[in-house]
Structure 1
């Protein structure tokens, strides 16, 4: 399935991707509300965490209410907020730390590829992010 690809060699660590992601989905320039996480440390290449939209998504299997589903048309894993009971089993099941629990919303948050037009990819000034298969 399609997912966000990160090239750490190109990343400047500006975190614009996080800011614009949080702005699109939560109307706030707040990295804590971003669906992508870029971690930078002194003298270490940046690392990222974002949903990889797994074909055999363990988060989907872990969800007892079917709040996570695979959207075959847009090739992504989608969270249906109204079905989520906040058990956090999806967060625990993700081997890539691509789903985050947000304490303010009492819901998991994850990348949904912005309906096919990822804000993080569009805003990255160094083209460190792209959409791949």
Structure 2
């Protein structure tokens, strides 16, 4: 999807489109999610228009500046809530302990494994903490 070697970071404004392509790769060429969510880095009028053209009914991409959302207020609140719950985990995974902020890997295959390794390490540490607490 992005090529095999990363020479530079992909354009973040295109990431919602890449996410849609990955979704369709997994669930079928015609599959379209009802709601797509991405942070303000994915905000670009062309990207949002393309998502709409592709049939995404609710586009929950946070606008930059004073732009307007393309979803209703109750959906915005749900997006903010869900995003808030994941921000702490994202910060933890980017720490030196889990090494996901600036991985040394440069191909998509190894980058995917680096992310999986970071998440697995995080979850194993939580499991071990809970096991130790349960024994106390």
Q: TM-score band (shorter)?
A: under 0.3
More helix per residue: 2
Structure with more contact order per residue of length (Cα contacts < 8 Å, sep ≥ 6): 1
Task: Output the TM-score relative to the length of structure 2.
Answer: 0.24
TM-score, length of structure 1 as denominator length: 0.24
Identify the structure with the greater strand proportion: 1
Bigger Rg, which one: 2
